[in-house]
Amino acid sequence: MSSPIFQNILIYGLGLMGASLALTIKKQFPNSKIHAIVRSQESKLKIESMQIVHSVFIESEFLAQENPEKFWGEYDLIVFGTPVHLIKKQLTHIPKKLSAVITDMGSTKKTIIDAVASYYDGQSDHNYISSHPMCGSELAGAENAIDGLYQDKLCILTPLENSNREGLNRLRSFWEAMGMRTHVLDEVSHDRILAYLSHSPHILSSLMVTWADTHVGDENKKSPQPIMGGGFRDMARIAGSNPEMWQAILSENRLSILESLKEFGSLLEKTIHSLESGSPEEWEKLFLDAAQHKKHLIES
Amino acid sequence: MSSPIFQNILIYGLGLMGASLALTIKKQFPNSKIHAIVRSQESKLKIESMQIVHSVFIESEFLAQENPEKFWGEYDLIVFGTPVHLIKKQLTHIPKKLSAVITDMGSTKKTIIDAVASYYDGQSDHNYISSHPMCGSELAGAENAIDGLYQDKLCILTPLENSNREGLNRLRSFWEAMGMRTHVLDEVSHDRILAYLSHSPHILSSLMVTWADTHVGDENKKSPQPIMGGGFRDMARIAGSNPEMWQAILSENRLSILESLKEFGSLLEKTIHSLESGSPEEWEKLFLDAAQHKKHLIES
């Protein structure tokens, strides 16, 4: 049992990510106290019955407390497990001078970092460092919490210029203790890379299913089993999952996604042109190139 | 042990599909005799050492035999396991009047059916019925043959107008005995549906990997592990696989693939436009629509 990096942890928002984090902390640092903020009395009762945290507060009551410095000051780590558009408001409730390390688990970074920078405007040093633990599930909610959700996954850390460096180091050690590998990345690169490797692929998968069903769905239905191989199925797995969450990601990272989709459109246009007037050697090259790029991107 | 539908089966081309078929026939109909045509002495020795067929012929020697009717006449089922562009030539070696049922395992249909129609031009009745057993592997060659390759998969049957109906029924029973479900489909519908549910998705997967690696591959490499979730990985699985085979499929089904890729391009354009000037409700609808289409296409 290692000595806990943080003793009193507040998880603000206990959905699938937050509840899975509570499970992992409990396992790695059984002496740490974990507290949670939820939105409703119903959620509070649900979380209490799960016995995964030491205390549960309802958001409106927690925020209405007098002397906020005292209450917030009881924690040495505060983690937002809420959606990005809420984090941007919620973080402004936290007193500006606080020794706790503050982070979030948002899947886009630019708009959070902008909100943090604006909140701490002019302050020479603060403890906010944004995190993006790259894990998740097709399910949602604390009731679907997964014990090993963070294990062997990547956590991207995005500090601001004024983020305290010791805070960054402690947060990095914390995520590593949760079983993750860490990587520091600025918010612009983060959002651009994620547009290509996660956000736009979710859109492309969704478009692919809509396109195929629109054009050949009814004919496909006449077959005793779907006329498709494992390739299409794999590509369709993430299509249409969690529309509310993906709308939010799209709203937060609209410009990077747009740029990347336009690049995809150009490549598709070139391919269509090659199919119209090119040679079989050119068509074979399309797959040979992809094999090379796949090796560079994923395999080696 | 059921009574064999065919007693003497000739498999013309013994790659992964042909060799896997030999294994399945051997299991289901141990009394049937299986013969194979291969291209080289080297292949002949390899197949003989595997002991999966009763006799192996080298193509050039087989075709050079005098009195072709006698030799071809020894079989009651002839299955082409060669690529589509070869099948179109190879089938012309078969005597036009033959009681054997003749089929292939090509993954595109229009060009084969055109070649068959032209070969049997004016003949009122023949035994050629095209097949597309929808199974395969990322590996190739007889040495990678898989015992259960055909089990529970779909086999599409494409007869011609003059194909003998009894032949069709026997062939259908044969594939069902191999563990497959069967579906009769004309060649134009086949190629159009497969463009949407298999061929173009292979192209889109390949383009996606090339696109992502080109734009963010080097940045991705700096991370201790790839900055991607399971979604991208799933979509990339089929990218760049078997370039030679996919070039051939693309060559054979170019027009249907082109049409489908243009439709995908239009949908992508609409999406880009919506991201430029639409509302979050519209963006959420993109995922909600996909969820509906997915249900219709795959799940129900």
As a whole number, mean pLDDT of residues A75-89 equals 95
The reply to whether B275 and B159 lie within a common domain is: no
**How confident is the model at residue A230, as a pLDDT?**
87
Is A246 a member of any domain? Answer: yes
User: Do B215 and B207 form a contact (C-beta atoms < 8 A)?
Assistant: no
Is A1 a member of any domain? Answer: no
List the single best residue of B85, B190, B222, B293 to mutate versus A (max A Cβ within 10 A): B293
Would you place residue A300 in the very low, low, confident or very high pLDDT band (cuts 50, 70, 90)? Answer: low
How far apart, in Å, are the Cα atoms of A265 and each of A207, B222, B259, B289? 13, 27, 16, 21
List the single best residue of B228, B244, B245, B258 to mutate versus A (max A Cβ within 10 A): B228
Would you place residue A65 in the very low, low, confident or very high pLDDT band (cuts 50, 70, 90)? Answer: confident
Is A20 a member of any domain? Answer: yes
The reply to whether A170 and A203 lie within a common domain is: no
Q: Is B46 helix (H, G, I), strand (E, B) or coil?
A: helix
Q: Taking a contact as any Cβ pair under 8 Å apart, which residues of chain B between 80 and 139 contact chain A?
A: 134-136
Question: Could you report the per-residue pLDDT of A234-292, keeping only the tens digit for each?
Answer: 999 999 988 998 999 999 999 999 999 999 999 999 999 999 999 999 999 999 999 99
Distance from CA of B64 to the nearest CA of A (A): 31
Question: Chain B residue with minimal CA distance to A256?
Answer: B275
Would you place residue A138 in the very low, low, confident or very high pLDDT band (cuts 50, 70, 90)? Answer: confident
Is B277 a member of any domain? Answer: yes
Helix H or strand E encompassing A273: helix A254-277
Is A2 a member of any domain? Answer: no
The reply to whether A124 and A244 lie within a common domain is: no
What does pLDDT average to over chain A?
A: 95
As a whole number, mean pLDDT of residues A148-161 equals 97
The reply to whether B40 and B153 lie within a common domain is: yes
Would you place residue A107 in the very low, low, confident or very high pLDDT band (cuts 50, 70, 90)? Answer: very high
Is A144 a member of any domain? Answer: yes
- Whether A215 sits inside 8 A of B260 (CB atoms) is yes
Residues of chain A with Cβ-Cβ distance to B212 below 8 Å are 196-197, 201, 293, 297
Q: Name the DSSP class of A122.
A: T
Q: Is the pLDDT of residue B230 over 80?
A: yes
List the single best residue of A247, A252, A255, A259 to mutate versus B (max B Cβ within 10 A): A247
CA-nearest of B44, B146, B210, B220 to A291 is B210
- Asked if ipTM goes beyond 0.95, one says no
The reply to whether A42 and A179 lie within a common domain is: yes
Instruction: Give yes or no for A216 touching B (CB within 8 A).
Output: yes
- Please report, for the domain that includes residue A121, its CATH number: 3.40.50.720
- Whether B291 sits inside 8 A of A240 (CB atoms) is yes
Which burial class, exposed, middle or buried, applies to B246 when counting CB atoms under 10 A from its CB (0-12, 13-18, 19+)? buried
Question: Could you report the per-residue pLDDT of B138-161, keeping only the tens digit for each?
Answer: 788 999 999 999 999 999 999 999
Q: Is the pLDDT of residue B81 over 60?
A: yes
- Please report, for the domain that includes residue B212, its CATH number: 1.10.3660.10
Residues of chain A with Cβ-Cβ distance to B209 below 8 Å are 290, 293-294, 297-298
Q: How many domains does chain A have?
A: 2
The reply to whether A172 and A235 lie within a common domain is: no
Q: Is the pLDDT of residue B69 over 60?
A: yes
The reply to whether A173 and A74 lie within a common domain is: yes
Percent of chain B clearing pLDDT 70 (strictly above)? 99
The reply to whether B134 and B208 lie within a common domain is: no
Q: Which residues contact B2 (CB under 8 A, 6 or more apart)?
A: B28, B29, B177
**How confident is the model at residue B300, as a pLDDT?**
64
The reply to whether A51 and A114 lie within a common domain is: yes
Q: What domain range is A202 assigned to?
A: 191-299
pTM of the model: 0.92
Q: Give the separation between CA B155 and CA B132, rounded to whole angstroms.
A: 5
Give the end of a domain, one of B137, B152, B185.
Answer: B185
The reply to whether B41 and B160 lie within a common domain is: yes
**How confident is the model at residue A2, as a pLDDT?**
61
- Whether A207 sits inside 8 A of B263 (CB atoms) is no
Question: Could you report the per-residue pLDDT of A43-55, keeping only the tens digit for each?
Answer: 999 999 999 999 9
Instruction: Report the residue from B182, B202, B289 with minimal CB separation from A231.
Output: B202
Give the end of a domain, one of B139, B158, B185.
Answer: B185
- Whether B212 sits inside 8 A of A251 (CB atoms) is no
Question: Could you report the per-residue pLDDT of A3-54, keeping only the tens digit for each?
Answer: 789 999 999 999 999 999 999 999 999 999 999 999 999 999 999 999 999 9
Would you place residue A160 in the very low, low, confident or very high pLDDT band (cuts 50, 70, 90)? Answer: very high
The reply to whether B21 and B147 lie within a common domain is: yes
- Whether A136 sits inside 8 A of B229 (CB atoms) is yes
Is B289 a member of any domain? Answer: yes
Instruction: Give yes or no for B201 touching A (CB within 8 A).
Output: yes
- Whether B203 sits inside 8 A of A286 (CB atoms) is yes
Give the end of a domain, one of B185, B203, B235.
Answer: B185
Q: Taking a contact as any Cβ pair under 8 Å apart, which residues of chain A between 33 and 62 contact chain B?
A: none
The reply to whether B152 and B32 lie within a common domain is: yes
Instruction: Give yes or no for B291 touching A (CB within 8 A).
Output: yes
List the single best residue of A153, A204, A273 to mutate versus B (max B Cβ within 10 A): A204
User: Do A127 and A99 form a contact (C-beta atoms < 8 A)?
Assistant: yes
CB–CB contacts below 8 A, A to B: 314
- Whether A258 sits inside 8 A of B238 (CB atoms) is no
Distance from CA of A108 to the nearest CA of B (A): 13
User: Do A166 and A195 form a contact (C-beta atoms < 8 A)?
Assistant: no
Is B177 a member of any domain? Answer: yes
Question: Could you report the per-residue pLDDT of B169-179, keeping only the tens digit for each?
Answer: 999 999 999 99
